[in-house]
Every structure is written in C-alpha cells, then in structure tokens.
Structure 1
C-alpha cells in the first residue's frame, strides 16, 4: 500500500437505529442500497450462500476482497443455504422481525422460492420489499438477465459518452447498479415511512434502467424537438462553452466549466485576455457554442504555459471554476479529503485499516457510532440464529 497520512475511522449515523434489513441480493445494486442503509444506522443482515458468499467477494485485487470490504461494512453476515428445507423457517423468522427486504433475483425467482410478497406480508404486513432487476418485474424484458453494462448501453448513456470519431464508451464502474442502489434506498425509506403510519408494506419494483435513464434528463426531449441525437463530445458539454479538460505545462490536467456570462468574463480576465469577450466568436453564448474548438485552443494554449499548481492558484484567486483532475493516488495524499473527512481509515481484520469513502450523509443532531468492518462469510450466523431462537444448524450449511 502506498504511503499516506492517516484519517479518522468512519462513523455511521443512528437515523435508522432499530430498522432491520434482510439483504438477499448479490453483487452491486443491492449491496449499494443496503450499504447506504447501514451507513444510516440500519441493522443489515446479509444472507449469503455458505459455500460461495456474495459474488461481490470475487472482485478482488491481489486476493483482497476490495469491493466487499467497502460495500459490506456495517453489515452482519448470515450463511444460509436457501435451497435447504429448513431455510424457510429462518427466512420467516427474519421477515417477522425485519422492516425491509432487498433482493435482486431474476423476476419470478422469489415466487418460485415460495416467498411471493403476499406470503411475506402474512409474516409481516409492514415489510417493505425492494426488488431490483435489470428491466423490471413486469414488461417484455422482464425475463432478460440484468447486467448493468447492457443497461448503460440501452439507456442512451453509452451513445453520448466518448468522442465522435470513436465507438460509444461504457462507464468504467457499475454506474447503472449504483444509481439503482441509491434510488432503491431512497424509495424504501419513503415506503417505510408510509408503512409506519398505515401498517401496510409495499413492493418497490426497481429496474437498473429507469434510475439511469432518469438522471439523463432531457435526452429524449431534445431528440424529439431537434430530430437528432447529440454527438459524442468527449469532455465538452452540449449546454455551454467552455467546458473541458486541459493539459497543463507539467503534463497534468485541470477541468474547467464556465456556464455563465459572468464566469466567462472572469476567466478571460484571469487569463490576461479581456479582449476575448469582445471577439465576435466568443462574445455570446451562441457564438461560443459555434466556435468551441477555437475557444478551447485559446484556453488550452494558456494552460500549457503554466504548471497545474500555478493554474489552480491563479484561477482560485480570481474565483474561476477550475479544478484539478485527481487520480486515486492523488486522493490518498490530498489535504481536503482528510480535512473534510471524505476519506476515512476503515478498521479491518486483514489490513489493519484501509482508506475508504466515509459515509456521505452528514447530520447535525443525530448521534453517530463506529462502523463494523465488512464481515467474513457467515461471521454472524450463530449470533443471528440465537436472536431468532434457533441453533446455527437450523438451515443446512449455516454452521461455519
């Protein structure tokens, strides 16, 4: 591991203290949803296959379960063979004592297991059920596998990402899953609030497609009005100019976005080029849109004459919206990340501590408590079974 300065350990809010979540999901979307709920203080019971565990454990670096260590924190692991006849008893007891269920089986699988929502509500009428799938529980694509990459391509995102003279580009992380997880956590909390008032739970049908499509905003509106799609523009913006990434004299990069007339004027003044505001090519928003390449060349030439730190100092003093392009190694030693507490040192039984994103939700009045590290497979099986009044062997393969 690279050298870095230490940061405080992460702490969880207690906003959801007393809320219990049963997590039957695998890989990213469901884990992000329950990760968010655990960060807010919920008791998340992660139900895992006793032999393989959650598939997210397989995403490793040098044999270390890096993804699991981040998204599994704050959770408890119950090793349970869902195919064992005895598992039905364990699940029923969990459902009776819980508030939220998260699953991302292919649509219809939960019903085949004997746990249609109506049966779950027989055990607990207030249960909120988050069902995550690629294309939704209903509709012509409900039967299809739900991989995020397919959704990122289908949603319109890939077609607008990248450069016009190159193929569409998929995101380098699980974007669709991540949005579905965050939207899913938001939805179950809204449904939980209603359940607490009415005593009646609900089903959240959360596809991977719809949250991502939603955040793309006016994509289809603009296509319907113009009869065309926006071409891929790299780091440029279809809404304003200048907005791009520029190489500085020391080979590093800065990002610039000037979306208002006042900011454009401030930028030109800071560059020592106030006359550019009178240049017909750059004098108005429309003119800049038509001449984006020429304006990028002017700005790029300026950036190339200064190193990154000099650019940042100059534009910061002038109040211009320019910032550094940071990579992971930059972030490890960045003063802001430590001062703000964005980066936290997560305690870990294997690594001692490791740098991890701190919970992003900050509250003023709610107490906070430490976050337990991501559990080993089945680490809390005995503890949870005891809470349910069962032995660890109540479900075949649960004893670890």
Structure 2
C-alpha cells in the first residue's frame, strides 16, 4: 500500500488543531489526532523548528527518520512565540481552532499571553491539551519533567529489567507515548462534552500519572498486603508457564500457556498430558508456585525442536506462541502485510519511506497517513494567508523581522 497526500476522509476531518511545544509527548498527541483526519497546524520556531527534526538513532542523508513519523499529516508554520507579534498571530490562529496542544513547563503559556483564561475569552469552545511531566498543579508542577523521570516516578522503571541489575528502560519513549495517548483520550472526551454543552475545557495529562495508570494492582497490593512488585526479568511472578524458551537452532520463542485449558494443550504436545491433572500443576496457583520447575521441563523439550516446526505445532494445537520480533521480522511477516500494519509513503528526500500505519482500525471511518512530516514553514503562506488573510507583503515583513 502506498499513501500519497490524498483527500482527507478521517472522522476528525472537521477539527482544527494548533500544536505548540516540541519533542515527543505533545506532538505525539497531535500525530494521533492527525492520523484520524484533524487538520494539525504545528507552530515551530523560525530557523530551527522542533528538535525532533534532528533526533533519532539513525538518519538517512542527514534526515531524521523519526520526524516523518511524529509530524506526519501535519502542516508546519513558523511562529516566534517569544515575541509579542508571534503571540498575536498564535492567538488569531487559536481563535479559529477547536484544540490547542502544548507541552511547555506550566506558566509558560501564561507569560506569553496564551493562558487558557485569555484564550477561552476569544474561543469559548476551545479545548486546551496540556502535557507536562508533573501536571499543572501540585508542588512539582514547576519542575522540568522529561519522560524518563515520569517513568521512574510512575513505577515502570523500578519494575522493569532483571532482578540482579539496576532498573531498566524500554527501548522506546514509553512515558511520553502514554501521556500522549491519555491526552488524546481526554481530548476526545472533552470534544464529546463540548458537543453537549458548547463549552471547552483543559485536558491536563502528566507523564508520571500516565505511567502510574498502567501499573495494574501495584498500589493496593502494597497498601493491603505490604507486597512490593520487583523486577522479574522475562516473567511475571506466579504466572506460569509464560516465558522465552530455547530451540534447537538457537532461536528463542515465547510460549504463553498459563491458562488451565491452554496448559493442558501444551502438555499434550509435549507428550506429558499427565501434568495437566497433577495437583502440583493443575491450576494457576500451583503452576505459579512451581514456575522454575515448569520452565526447566519446557526448555528441555523446546531445545530439541526446530523453531519453525515447533511454532507450527503450537499454533495448530491452540497454544499462544511466537518469535521475539525485530524490525526485519515485521517487514516479512504475512500478517503484518495482510492487515496493512506498515504503510509506505513517497518521500521527496528519502524515497519510499515505510512506517507504522494508523491504529486502531475503524471499519467505517478509518484514519490515514496522508503525507510525511513537512518541511519547516512549508505552509506559512497557506495558513497565514488562508486563515488570517495576510498578503505576500505582510508575510515578507513578518519573515524579515523574524516573527515567522
């Protein structure tokens, strides 16, 4: 599938979003809204733009491979928000918008004359999405808050990794991403409220709270039993068998057979069906208490099997199992292809550019990747001319003075 800059038919196509801020948490919220059709106008600093234009582990011909993903479907205009004239332009754009997204430190927007009280006066239905490390209130609100700190404070860092090593991180910016996803949920909820009342509101998404929201029963476990979840490596305590196991060719596969009926299917494939009725392994609690024993038995069995043959047997036998995928595996997997999980775009500098497709999938009004991240200020004339009625001379003057 190849996606070009095509007509916008997404379910949010009637919404206009002004995206302010930079890096990841706020812009990822903008990406999600843009994926489903919202017109996202991103305000960037003249001359430099969002640092995401340079970020990423790998680049191609000096071009960031992260920027085209997080900025896809957006329009880029330059606007110096530290100047009074830039702030005036921002207010005029926001007056015609449904949503404004910002991820500056609390108080910054207010200093620029862009606080919600002032914006609400010119646009009562405005939804203001504020993504920060610690939220808009509380003693830590003024602090600089990066995703990594939110992950540490929210609990996921402490519980991630091997028990014999220091807390680990996931290989992605999970804290920023979670804050953006919850900000998007809040935005859609606020839009529903506005449909009923005509009134906008603030969506306050803090990174540490987004991480905390994913921590399952960690809090009541500690409060009621004194149990503190610890790092457990590749397993969850008392959930067995569910682990990564070796194969004859050195490949590792994950088998998740912790449910009673699934465990019984696994034992049949192992020619050890008696284990399913053995009181030491016959139920979830018993298996959890003997996790190491079960993992040793299963590893001994899988280590003698070819990975492809073993996976086929497990799938046909109704036992959830799979490889630990790398990017290479994703490109060659037929299921990814059948569901169009990867979209390929035509990029003027990079050629064919693959990236993850829009998710989740909607049956009647699916989202779409219409184009990759824009060049800096690509849409200055269209946006400022079309929305604010500025002519070429006015735009030239704003450019000369460094406002845009």
TM bracket, shorter-chain basis:
over 0.9
Seen in structure 2, the aligned counterparts of structure 1 residues 357 and 367 have a Cα distance that, compared at 3 Å, is closer
The residue number in structure 2 matching 1:176 is 175
For 1:397, the equivalent position in structure 2 comes to 402
> What is the match of residue 363 of structure 2?
364
1 CA distance for matches of 2:275 and 2:101? 56
Q: Are 1:26 and 2:25 counterparts? A: no
Alignment of 1:331-346 (within 5 A): 331-346=330-345
Partner of 2:132: 133
Unaligned runs of 5+ in 1: 1-6
CA contact (8 A) 2:9 2:37 kept: yes
Q: After the TM superposition, which of the residue ranges 388-397 and 181-190 deviates more from structure 2?
A: 388-397
Aligned pair 1:226/2:222, yes or no?
Answer: no
Range 34-43 or range 388-397, more displaced: 388-397
Distance 1:354 1:32 in 2: 19
**Would the aligned equivalents of 1:13 and 1:363 in 2 still touch at CA under 8 Å?**
no
Q: C-alpha distance in 1, partners of 2:263/2:201?
A: 49
- 1:222-274 per-position Cα deviation (integer Å, ceiling 9, x unaligned): 11222121232111113521111112221222112123110111111112211
Residue in structure 2 matched with residue 290 of structure 1 by the alignment? 289
Runs of 4+ deviating beyond 3 Å? 10-13, 278-281, 367-370, 393-396
Task: Write the mapping of 1:137-156 to structure 2, written as runs, cut at 5 A.
Answer: 137-156=136-155
1:370/1:205 CA distance change after superposition, 3 Å: closer
Instruction: Report the Cα offset of residue 334 of structure 1.
Output: 1.5
Aligned to 1:3: none
- Compare 89-98 and 59-68 and name the one that shifted more: 59-68
User: In structure 2, what is the equivalent of residue 271 of structure 1?
Assistant: 270
- TM-score (normalised: structure 2): 0.93
Counterparts in 2 of 1:1-400, with a 5 A limit?
Answer: 7-9=1-3, 14-60=10-56, 61-62=58-59, 63-366=62-365, 371-387=370-386, 388-390=388-390, 391-392=394-395, 393-394=397-398, 396-397=401-402
Contact 1:13 1:39 in 2 (8 A): no
Q: Secondary structure at the match of 2:66?
A: helix
**Residue in 2 that maps onto 1:4:** none
3-state SS of the aligned residue for 1:159?
A: coil
Change (3 A) 1:397 1:366: same
CA contact (8 A) 2:358 2:369 kept: no
Say if 2:131 and 2:205, in contact at 8 Å, map to a contact too: yes
- Which shows bigger deviation, 128-137 or 299-308? 299-308
Instruction: Return 168-177 or 367-376, whichever deviates more.
Output: 367-376
Structure 2 spans left out of the alignment, 5+ residues: none
Q: Alignment length, in residue pairs? A: 393
Q: Given the two structures, how large is their TM-score scaled by the length of structure 1?
A: 0.94
Which stretch shifts more, 271-280 or 91-100?
271-280
* CA RMSD after TM alignment: 1.7
